Amino acid sequence: MNEVKTIAEKSEWMSALIFIKQKVTDYNQLTKTRLTFLVVFSAVITYLTASSGSIINWYEVMILALGGTLVVGASNGINQIIEKDFDKLMVRTANRPVATHRMSITEAAIASLVMGVAGVFLISVFLNALCGWLSLASLISYAFIYTPLKRISPISVFVGAFPGAFPPLLGWVAFSGSITTEAILFFGVQFFWQFPHFWSIAWILDDDYKRAGFKMLPVYGRNKKSALQVLIFTTMLLPIGLLPFVEGYTGLVSAIVSVAGAGMLIWYAFKLYRSCENADAKRLMFASFLYLPLVQIAYLIDKI
């Protein structure tokens, strides 16, 4: 009898562990943890850049990281609620928790609401009000403007580039309490970086996006006109990335890194224009993953 009871208890524990593991996986997918980390990294490293020459307030850094994680997680959660029926149609997103009904819409909505309110509250109260308003604007514009616009027009990438470029702005404002010229320049770098980054991803996933009705590439598909726009917007990174140096806000290290990084992206964008092949889109995508953190680290090094 005791042996049967022990087996039953072990079975219950195993079931509980499996349930917890699945929940962790589901919330990891709902909040897009890896993407969230990259966004928060951008905000935190810009805060450190802004605070160079001063004593770093690590408490504020922690609040920025935690609040930013919650706000981005909420944005991603709302995005998946809105797109639940379209996520089912794409190979890349078919296994998301809301799309597969592993997580109910109610649960996802409550989790997203709690994360969003908590994140904006932490940033507003423990950093500053302007930073809180910016985080709220980022959440709303991403979740309720960019997300539905993806099925209407390719201009969604341009619109989405604004909340996508908010992290460095938030990082700077978290320290300074105001939007300065430097903050706008760092915002601009991340803004223009998103075009080669997201369009290269959209190029690779074009078939998947079309199944869900998403219009992500600039001229509705993999063609020379789309590739030309990718090249033009990528080329803009060369002058934009140099502006902080030209204006005297950063030094030679960031100038060299930004020029080298932009040159690398332009070369791959040009190759994509010539070939219109997925292989070159993948090279551009991977190069874009390297560009932003390297340039932002270089800005920080110049400020130290």
DSSP calls for 85-147: HHHTT-TTTTT-TTTTTSS-HHHHHHHHHHHHHHHHHHHHHHT-HHHHHHHHHHHHIIIIIIH
Residue 186 CA to residue 166 CA, distance in Å, equals 10
Query: DSSP alpha helices (H): ranges in the chain?
Result: 2-31, 33-50, 58-82, 84-87, 105-126, 129-140, 147-149, 156-164, 166-176, 181-204, 206-212, 224-235, 237-246, 252-275, 278-303
Q: Span 143-150, mean pLDDT?
A: 95
Residue 131 CA to residue 43 CA, distance in Å, equals 11
Average pLDDT along the chain: 93
Residue 131 CA to residue 238 CA, distance in Å, equals 29
Residue at 144: amino acid letter: F
Q: How far is CA 164 from CA 53, 137, 198, 268, in A?
A: 28, 11, 11, 22
pLDDT of residue 173: 97
pLDDT in tens, 263-287: 999 999 999 999 999 999 999 999 9
pLDDT of residue 14: 72
Q: Which of 49, 125, 78 is nearest to 302 (CA)?
A: 49
**pLDDT over threshold 80, residue 11:** no
**pLDDT over threshold 90, residue 195:** yes
Q: pLDDT grade, residue 10 (50/70/90)?
A: low
Residue at 220: amino acid letter: Y
pLDDT in tens, 14-45: 777 777 888 889 999 999 998 899 999 999 99
CA end-to-end distance (rounded Å), the chain: 69
Q: pLDDT grade, residue 105 (50/70/90)?
A: very high
Q: pLDDT grade, residue 138 (50/70/90)?
A: very high
Q: Span 174-192, mean pLDDT?
A: 95
Q: What percent of the chain has pLDDT over 90?
A: 86
pLDDT of residue 129: 97
Helix (H, G, I), strand (E, B) or coil at 236: coil
Residue 46 CA to residue 244 CA, distance in Å, equals 13
pLDDT of residue 23: 87
**pLDDT over threshold 60, residue 2:** no
pLDDT of residue 6: 64
131 touches 145 (CB < 8 A): no
Tokens of 6: 């022990």
89 touches 212 (CB < 8 A): yes
Residue 206 CA to residue 215 CA, distance in Å, equals 9
pLDDT in tens, 77-86: 999 999 999 9
pLDDT in tens, 217-236: 988 789 999 999 999 999 99
> Does the pTM exceed 0.85?
yes
